[in-house]
Amino acid sequence: MINYLILSNLSLILFYLVYKALLQGNTFFKWRRFYLMFSLVFSLSYPFLDYFDSPAISSVPQNIVTQTQNFLQPASIMMNQVDVFAQSSDIAWWKIFYLLIISMFATRLIIRLYALWSLKHKATPEYINGDKIWVSHKAITPFSFFNLIMIDKALLSSPHLRMVLQHEKSHVEQWHSLDVLAAEIVGAVFFYNPFIYLIKKEIRINLEYLADNNCVEHKEEKKAYQTAILQIAVNQPYVSISNHFNYSPIKQRIMMLNKRKSNKIAMLKYIGILPMMFALFLLSQCTKSTKEGAENNLIGDLQMSIKEEKFKMQETIKEVVDFSRIDTPPMFSGGNKVFMNYLASNTKYPEKAKENKVEGRVYIQFVVDSLGKVKDVNVLKASGIVQAQQDTIVWNFANGTIESKLKTSDGLFENMATVTNVAYLLLEEGLRVVKAMPDWKPGKMNNKAVNVKYQVPINFRLSPPALLPSTPKKS
């Protein structure tokens, strides 16, 4: 989510800077409207393209299961079964705070819409030249919202009534309220970005340019229209979410009315959007490559760590007594039940493995030496599956390397290697929890402490096995 917020906010900033540098001064108001709205839609959506290329990731269940099951090998002591339930992920408080602020902005928007509805409820409908106009009995600024046009009663006798209504009808016919509403919604999502407020301002003023331009065709009409803008009271209250006639800054609107139409060659400036979009896509891919590179480095470190553990085992304890010959087996402090509880409370399902639907069984081998120390902790073997969309990848660990095979009839899965490498995290977690164990009471043979080998299978599962329904007994 952090990457999404960074990329989308950077996109908004770049779109605004390009607009100010190349497009603000021209009179292509329709093209400017398209550009500004496109900047909102593009900034919201384009970071998601990074996720479309990623392997399927599903939501993680609240309780992730880790199990150890009985497993017996020569010269090893069999461990009792234990079920370890991994705790759900820590709450991301910053996300809760972020959503809380967004909900506050959404509530403010709802309040504004309610104020608009309340104002309409108290107004009186009248038909002027065949158009339904709502007349308020208190002083307001003329405004429109979708197909609603509202003026105050005093404006009915004004000589500027025709121009005001024509202006508001332009807003209605061109669906300008849709732009305003979309800008408010996007502004709620990116409330912390000052550039979104600048973009919202440009959207509002450009919509006024569009309506103004639609109302005047001749020089004489321009003069009368400018007079109407100046004489309509500026300080009257208005509903902020609406399009209103005397939206400030009035000076800019008058200057734009008198500006010469831009040459069509100036439209070539809009081509400037193409290199900017290319740069954003390139940045998105670089971010993705950096993320994948960091993950691959982590996987490489884990592979090296596992190989080193295998090598250390061969160099250290060589005299291990078969468990069938010992008189007293090693004892975990507190007994076997406490040992099972230790595994249950300390084994954690790796987050990256959860996200990528990696499951598997990891066999951890270790030796309790004659001093009770846990030594030669190593991964003996491991295997599992990865659920990738509709396909299943079967992985197997042996001699320090994971090999994978794809079970599918639709061809190869592109990111198979990347996903299966995440399985190394399961191996690393198995090593970690066993190596962190406290000292044991050593085993004895002929009243002499000896070295005894253990094997513990840890079964990482994304969900507990389904319980079979009981069959009712026949009477």
Instruction: Let me know if residue 304 belongs to a domain.
Output: no
DSSP label at residue 319: -
Instruction: Let me know if residue 83 belongs to a domain.
Output: yes
Instruction: Mark which of 252, 280, 308 sits at the end of a domain.
Output: 280
- Look at residue 61 in the predicted model and tell me its pLDDT: 30
Kindly state whether residues 6 and 118 are assigned to the same domain. yes
Tokens encoding 449? 């402490």
Tokens encoding 171? 């807003």
Distance of CA 393 to the CA centre of its chain: 26
Kindly state whether residues 335 and 202 are assigned to the same domain. no
Kindly state whether residues 164 and 211 are assigned to the same domain. yes
- Look at residue 311 in the predicted model and tell me its pLDDT: 38
Instruction: Mark which of 227, 255, 280 sits at the end of a domain.
Output: 280
Instruction: Let me know if residue 232 belongs to a domain.
Output: yes
Length of the chain equals: 475
Instruction: Let me know if residue 70 belongs to a domain.
Output: yes
Instruction: Let me know if residue 15 belongs to a domain.
Output: yes
DSSP label at residue 26: S
Domain coverage including residue 397 = 64-89+316-461
Kindly state whether residues 46 and 180 are assigned to the same domain. yes
Tokens encoding 250? 């009035």
Total domains in the fold of the chain:
2
Name the residue among 408, 453, 444, 144 with its Cα closest to residue 318.
Answer: 453
- Look at residue 298 in the predicted model and tell me its pLDDT: 53
- Look at residue 91 in the predicted model and tell me its pLDDT: 59
pLDDT means over runs of 10, the chain (475 residues): 83 91 89 94 79 37 36 47 48 83 94 92 92 91 92 88 91 95 94 94 93 78 81 58 64 85 83 80 68 55 52 62 85 86 84 82 88 89 76 77 66 53 84 92 92 86 59 48
Instruction: Mark which of 263, 280, 297 sits at the end of a domain.
Output: 280
Kindly state whether residues 258 and 342 are assigned to the same domain. no
Kindly state whether residues 214 and 197 are assigned to the same domain. yes
- Look at residue 475 in the predicted model and tell me its pLDDT: 41
Q: What is the DSSP string of 160-211?
A: THHHHHHHHHHHHHTTHHHHHHHHHHHHHHTTT-HHHHHHHHHHHHHHHHHH
Kindly state whether residues 271 and 404 are assigned to the same domain. no
- Look at residue 79 in the predicted model and tell me its pLDDT: 59
Kindly state whether residues 269 and 395 are assigned to the same domain. no
Kindly state whether residues 68 and 48 are assigned to the same domain. no
Name the residue among 410, 409, 416, 408 with its Cα closest to residue 386.
Answer: 416
Instruction: Let me know if residue 287 belongs to a domain.
Output: no
| Cα three-residue angle 119-147-109, rounded to 5 degrees | 55
Instruction: Let me know if residue 137 belongs to a domain.
Output: no
For 230, list phi and psi in degrees, rounded to 5.
Answer: -70, -35
Tokens encoding 41? 């839609």
Instruction: Let me know if residue 454 belongs to a domain.
Output: yes
Tokens encoding 37? 């709205």
Kindly state whether residues 102 and 223 are assigned to the same domain. yes
Cβ burial 231-257 (10 Å sphere, 16+ → b, else e): ebeeebebbebbbbbbbeeeeebbebb
Nearest-angstrom CA–CA distance, 424 and 421? 6
Kindly state whether residues 81 and 97 are assigned to the same domain. no
Q: Which neighbouring-strand residues pair with 427?
A: none
- Tally helices (H) and strands (E) across the chain: 14, 17
- Look at residue 313 in the predicted model and tell me its pLDDT: 46
- Look at residue 237 in the predicted model and tell me its pLDDT: 56
Kindly state whether residues 270 and 345 are assigned to the same domain. no
Instruction: Identify whether 249 is preceded by a cis peptide bond (ω within 30 of 0).
Output: yes
